[in-house]
Structure 1
Amino acid sequence: MRLIKVATCNLNQWAMDFDLNLKNIKESISRAKDAGAVIRLGPELEITGYGCEDHFLELDTVSHAWDCLKELLVEDWTDGILCSFGMPIINGSVRYNCQVLCMNRKIIMIRPKMLLANDGNYRELRWFAAWQKKDSTVDFQLPPDIADAISQMTVPFGYGYVKFLDTVVSAEICEELFCPEPLHIELALAGVEVFMNASGSHHQLRKLDTRMDAFKGATRTRGGLYMYSNQQGCDGGRLYYDGCSCVVVNGDVVAQGSQFSLKDVEVVFAHVDLDAVASLRLSSSSFQQQASKQMENKEKQIKCIVAPYKLCRSFHLEYPISCPLKIKYYEPEEEIALGPACWLWDYLRRSGASGFLLPLSGGADSSSVAAIVGNMCQLVVREIHNGDEKVKADAIRIGQYPDGTFPTDSKEFAKRIFYTVFMGTENSSEATRSRAKGLANEIGSWHLDVSIDSVISALLTLFQTLTGKRPRYKVDGGSNAENLGLQNIQARIRMVLSFMLASLLPWVHSKSGFYLVLGSSNVDEALRGYLTKYDCSSADINPIGSISKTDLRTFLRWAAVHLGYSSLAEVEAAPPTAELEPIRSDYTQLDEVDMGMTYDDLSVYGRLRKIYRRGPVSMFTDLCFKWGSILTPSEIAEKVKFFFKYYSINRHKMTVLTPSYHAESYSPEDNRFDLRQFLYNSKWPFQFRKIDELVKDINGDKVLLAKSDDNDKPELVSDHVGGMGVAAVGSGNPNVGL
């Protein structure tokens, strides 16, 4: 038997926070060693964080990554264990996304990524080049300080595999698994038995099964031990990386990490008999024939790097062999409950904020956000109960608990960190007011109920003084312009009040810091432009901004039972309404009537427009097949034209949408130009320390190094992270673009 124990990781890295990232990497290696693993795989670009984006264009980022790698190599971290580290590397005048394979304080090989992710949320070609040479490696000259530190001048750089004394190992990086002709096919035929896939893959509803099918398919017919490592958490941007690191052997998943977690470091282990891989391959005649043909084809031979180490053990009973297990999948409503909740916790603990403020209308969208925050509080308390000291320390700091106390009840924790505000007007119903209060009580938030009629009246009086006219609602005889203007006044006043309360309520309650304002517009409203600019499009962050109304309603039904918030059932059953126009006996404002289309229709339009890349004409032809049995071509044509009309005139609103959790592939959010994260550790501890050291070198001992304060608690440059506010009731106005 050739027994091998391997370790793969979920790491919650933070783009550009090298100290935190290095700490997590070291902890994962320690756990791997303690468990007896001889291979440790980390996520893609783990040293820098995957989401550095345009920071990858800075030479400093690459230099800092080398500094971190040197620290890992000069100490005993790689002694007796093969470690794969992800980092950017410049070779010549080209920047590559690389995996660096290290063992026993030496670099065995640097493997640059050959197929880059460059669609959807990924823009790797903006920062990296793909390695093109499949037939050879080159000698890479290590930076002088690295070479001196580890007594190694060069290292093989390129596409190849590493032949140990008892097995063969190679890297396959993220996108390379999902391409039409994945590299593991020819690597398996060349004799590679252990594949290490370092990834930076984000969460998206209903996506995990596609990923798991790819892992299983990679080794089902051609054999192999396939390791997958992924980032987990919010590393500074809109994405939540959903972990789920795993080990697959001959098509069977034998180890799987969590998909959603508050932990910074999670290590997954598997103990495997590599003779099972050899046995499967030797039993397949077609594999034998193709492998033999590739061996004889000199043009297809892949570069081999020899490493004079053993990784396997012979027969022993110290660790049981890992057996196939049932893959853990979540239903979409569970994904909505868990993914945004974990993302919010990362954002909260890293931003320096003291909590969240949500304008809570009693409608489906804001109630969904409230339930997600409530679930976040439940997860925090559960992790503290399970002994997670890091979560406990963050919760004590954010909740500002006195010495010796910490959260033990989710409702009590919510009371400390979560404000909800119902901002009613004469147009608000008692039903929505009651639903908001009931949900706030179930979650435990600090709830406020305030009327903003006097502020609106003051603005209208000012307008009348300036113009001599006072606008009226359409139901009272006013024009469309008057009607829209009156609705937008309410929506924008709520934004102003939200941010005032988020800034000052902590002060009122003798707490330090500020609160982040949460948005609550969904992806379908954004697609249609059914929102008031600088209202629900202008909070600090939005956990549901790319989730469809249909999925949110399903989530509400689920959460009413599984999160213990029974009032959500009543919220879900109520028809969506903005409540920005007067309620009359013969008129009630309804979202779908205002929009001129249903939320279900919007989901169809969004997927055709984005995922299937349909313009107006091809969307029409597709819908003729889809809807032809219930609608005439003329009716379908009017629907398509109506959608594209309002999609077009409201497109400018997408440029100011609140940064939102990415969960749906047809999100219309505009995020194109200066691609850097929007959440930073404002102390920049690693970088500022490097600056101070340089200054000290230049000036001798005349300069005192800067000191950290407040126990290295992250701080923000200003008192708010994001933009502006959010409407408390509904989504605002469908058409206005002011």
Structure 2
Amino acid sequence: MPDLSLSLITVNQTPLDLRGNLERIKNAVRLAGDKRQVICFPELSLTGYGCEDAFYMPYLVDGALKALLTLAKDTARLDALIAVGLPFRQNGLLYNCMALLHRGRVVALIPKQHLAGEGLHYEPRWFRAFQSAKGEFIASEETALDGAYFGPAVIEYGDLRLGVEICEDAWVAGRPAIALAGASVDLILNPAASHFGFGKYDIRKSIVEASSREYHCLYATVNLLGNEAGRSIYDGSRIAASGGTILHESHRFSFQDACISQLTVSLSGMRQRRQRIYSRKEEMPDDGGALPVIKIDRSSSAPGFGRDASFARSEDASHRSSSIPGYTIEIKTIIDDTQPSRQGEAIDTDAVRFNEFLHAETLGLYDYMRKTASRGYTISLSGGADSAACALLVERMIRRGTSELGDHFFVKAGLPASSPREATKGMLHTIYQATAQSSETTESAAAEVAAALGANHHRIDIQDMVDRSKGLVEGVLERSLTWQTDDLALQNIQARARSPLVWMIANTTGSILIATGNRSESSVGYCTMDGDTSGGLAPIAGIDKAFLLRWLKHMEETGDEFGPIPSLSYINAQQPTAELRPLEAKQTDEKDLMPYALLERIERLALQDLMPPSGILSILLAEKDAGQARWTTAAEHFTPDELKQAVSRFFQLWRSSQWKRERFAVSFHIDTYNVDPRSYLRFPVLSAKIEEDAGKNII
């Protein structure tokens, strides 16, 4: 009975770190063992996926090739077929390729045929999509590269036939898998660099499941891991399926440097099914689309890296730490490939998203901290929802990281080892900065949450700074500043007066200042430039306020694997407020703007679905009339004219605040879209009054 041994290895890489990236790949190959197997790493794992315009730099591309040849040399004694991603220059053009290595030689370089150019992706800016009818053999002075095949191909490795389609290749209609299935491949590898976003993992899993059924093969994907380049977070997932059944689904969002899923799968059942399914004979080309078959010579034999790096094999799925700190391995033997792996019970969407949000954010924060050689985070803790959410995420970063890595959590970050509670005291610095407009409610809320989390918390009164600034400007203008005539200026000076002190704390502690704004506020410019937007990282700027409020309530009452945080009740009992106007004004965010749930609905229709104001108004009215207005519990109280005003106000605030979004701190991509003009949504700083379309067609 023919068996396939497959290692899917995710790695947490850093753009341009060729030395470190190569070392992590080599360590992972060692841990995979010296048996005959197929080993697959993610897309562009040698250089990192997020190199941006550094892909234009010749020394990066040349360095990637040198790293590849080094990897080939160092794995020459293994009888493993190793697939690793890199940018490769051929005939003066740059391609996104997977290199296949065997016994010290580059057997083939498989180029990506369909480039991702939507949302966060700008691959067509740097790479050429391979569109030729045939490939070619490479002539090179490098012995290990000379004779390698460049182009789509079927690889024959002993009695195993396999092919590769890279990430986006699997998301299009005319995908490479069609020709590969026509060539009767047993295995299709899908190395990926697929960033996290709500709901995206389920889509990827369904593609794997459907591909294995439609193309009658073992279909396997491996994704990058961690916060690679600053904005995108990768879940490190490894998924394998056969005959429409998920065989393996790994854990996600690991804090490890690398995670290995090792599968041993019987191919007999799959081959028998492929042979007897008559419909396949009509649907698939007999010649596999004339794909060349690259046969790997396995005549030579030699021992591998050494027995000290191998693992005993188990019949059951298991998770274990390796002999190298920061690496884990999962082992699964599947004798009958028709039996699905155990999957967790389905849970409601909010619970799934709460869990994904927490895991993606905490991993993103950890990688951002250690890759910038910082010593923690500083937050201006206002007693409101946003800053509390950020503080909680930092604390959970420490709890999750130390739970998974132990003391290696601190080793990776270059910090002294300590208990999670002590680490939080040294790595999470919070400050409440009071003015005359600050209430006892927010001050006590900040103190209670900081104490519950174990933060290093302080209180400072900055009213003297506000008064002095106000007095100096009054002297320049030769008049008094009042709330009746200078409301905006008097609000903003308070926010800006908080910036210098919290920056100073961040500088003196070697920590990163967190800007606490969310996407809802960013989309309408409800923030003060050089005030609450101050910071080096804005981790929640990619998520809406309505979601954050629900998540904080969930963490108060239900919590995560470390339990709930009852002190969040001090936050959740409040109406969100900037607390910049006099207390008697009873300022709230939703009074200044609109209900956050309605704002999120308009924002999503406008920025994700790209609908005009008139179209959005029509949808809101239809949802209201049908009783389907989930965007607010008070929907029935909104008149058509009030909804029209809300839509118009959103677009007016959106277009007039683009200059602010151009200056925001680096933010994480979490949802299906974001408003960061440097990653997802570009918009002109100057534009027409599109809000005037709220009741009519735009032209």
- Measured against the shorter chain, the TM-score band is 0.7 to 0.9
Deviation at 1:616, TM superposition (A): 2.2
1:139 to 134, 137, 140: 137
- Residue in 2 aligned with 1:592? 590
Q: 1:477-522 CA deviation, whole Å, 9 max, x = no partner? A: x12xx11000100111111221112123x3xxxxxxx111011111
- Residue in 1 aligned with 2:365? 344
- Residue in 2 aligned with 1:237? 230
- Residue in 1 aligned with 2:602? 605
RMSD of equivalent CA atoms: 2.1
**Does the 8 Å contact 1:227/1:246 carry over to 2?**
yes
Matches within 5 A, 1:695-734: none
Q: Which runs of 5+ in 1 are unaligned?
A: 312-316, 507-513, 676-738
- Residue in 2 aligned with 1:325? 341
Deviation at 1:415, TM superposition (A): 0.4
Q: 1:433-452 CA deviation, whole Å, 9 max, x = no partner? A: 11111111111110001111
**Does the 8 Å contact 1:117/1:124 carry over to 2?**
yes
Counterpart-to-counterpart distance in 2, 1:601 and 1:19: 49
Q: Give 1:295's aligned amino acid.
A: D
Q: 1:444-466 CA deviation, whole Å, 9 max, x = no partner? A: 11000111101101111111222
**Does the 8 Å contact 2:196/2:235 carry over to 1?**
yes
1:253 to 246, 254, 262: 246
Q: Give 1:464's aligned amino acid.
A: E
* Shift in CA distance, 116/327, structure 1 to aligned 2, threshold 3 Å: farther
- Residue in 1 aligned with 2:46? 47
- Residue in 2 aligned with 1:451? 461
Counterpart-to-counterpart distance in 1, 2:532 and 2:275: 61
**Does the 8 Å contact 2:167/2:191 carry over to 1?**
yes
Counterpart-to-counterpart distance in 1, 2:465 and 2:200: 46
Deviation at 1:78, TM superposition (A): 6.3
- Residue in 2 aligned with 1:376? 397
Counterpart-to-counterpart distance in 1, 2:71 and 2:674: 40
- Residue in 2 aligned with 1:407? 418
Counterpart-to-counterpart distance in 2, 1:185 and 1:99: 19
Provide the secondary structure at the position in 2 that maps to 1:295. Answer: coil
- Residue in 2 aligned with 1:314? none
* Shift in CA distance, 106/471, structure 1 to aligned 2, threshold 3 Å: same
Counterpart-to-counterpart distance in 2, 1:569 and 1:279: 59
Deviation at 1:618, TM superposition (A): 2.9
1:266 matched to 2:273? The reply is no
Counterpart-to-counterpart distance in 2, 1:78 and 1:551: 52
**Does the 8 Å contact 1:110/1:157 carry over to 2?**
yes
Counterpart-to-counterpart distance in 2, 1:55 and 1:430: 51
- Residue in 2 aligned with 1:698? none
Q: Give 1:380's aligned amino acid.
A: G
**Does the 8 Å contact 1:11/1:265 carry over to 2?**
yes
Q: Which runs of 5+ in 2 are unaligned?
A: 301-311, 316-332, 627-635, 683-699
* Shift in CA distance, 490/457, structure 1 to aligned 2, threshold 3 Å: same
- Residue in 2 aligned with 1:663? 670
Counterpart-to-counterpart distance in 1, 2:506 and 2:278: 68
* Shift in CA distance, 206/672, structure 1 to aligned 2, threshold 3 Å: closer
Matches within 5 A, 1:73-152: 73-76=72-75, 79-133=78-132, 135-142=133-140, 144=141, 146-147=142-143, 150=144
1:465 matched to 2:475? The reply is yes
Q: Give 2:438's aligned amino acid.
A: S
Counterpart-to-counterpart distance in 2, 1:206 and 1:237: 21
1:544 to 528, 540, 544: 540
* Shift in CA distance, 325/672, structure 1 to aligned 2, threshold 3 Å: closer
Q: Give 1:32's aligned amino acid.
A: A
Counterpart-to-counterpart distance in 1, 2:639 and 2:139: 68
Q: 1:284-322 CA deviation, whole Å, 9 max, x = no partner? A: 11013323xx1169xx322222223499xxxxx966432
Provide the secondary structure at the position in 1 that maps to 2:155. Answer: strand
* Shift in CA distance, 641/628, structure 1 to aligned 2, threshold 3 Å: farther
* Shift in CA distance, 626/419, structure 1 to aligned 2, threshold 3 Å: same
Q: State the identity %.
A: 27
Q: Give 2:545's aligned amino acid.
A: K
- Residue in 2 aligned with 1:729? none
**Does the 8 Å contact 1:177/1:214 carry over to 2?**
yes
Matches within 5 A, 1:142-181: 142=140, 144=141, 146-147=142-143, 150=144, 153-181=146-174
Counterpart-to-counterpart distance in 1, 2:275 and 2:185: 14
1:524 matched to 2:524? The reply is no
Task: Between 612-621 and 646-655, report the one with greater CA deviation.
Answer: 612-621
**Does the 8 Å contact 1:140/1:155 carry over to 2?**
yes
Provide the secondary structure at the position in 2 that maps to 1:99. Answer: strand
Counterpart-to-counterpart distance in 2, 1:121 and 1:635: 35
* Shift in CA distance, 78/548, structure 1 to aligned 2, threshold 3 Å: farther
Q: Give 1:419's aligned amino acid.
A: H
- Residue in 1 aligned with 2:689? none
**Does the 8 Å contact 1:44/1:87 carry over to 2?**
yes
1:191 to 180, 184, 188: 184
Counterpart-to-counterpart distance in 2, 1:37 and 1:460: 74
- Residue in 1 aligned with 2:655? 648
- Residue in 2 aligned with 1:391? 409
* Shift in CA distance, 227/219, structure 1 to aligned 2, threshold 3 Å: same
Counterpart-to-counterpart distance in 2, 1:9 and 1:663: 24
Provide the secondary structure at the position in 2 that maps to 1:331. Answer: helix
Q: Give 2:294's aligned amino acid.
A: I
Q: Give 2:381's aligned amino acid.
A: L
Provide the secondary structure at the position in 2 that maps to 1:50. Answer: coil
Counterpart-to-counterpart distance in 2, 1:463 and 1:604: 40
Deviation at 1:573, TM superposition (A): 2.9
1:577 matched to 2:577? The reply is yes
1:483 matched to 2:504? The reply is no
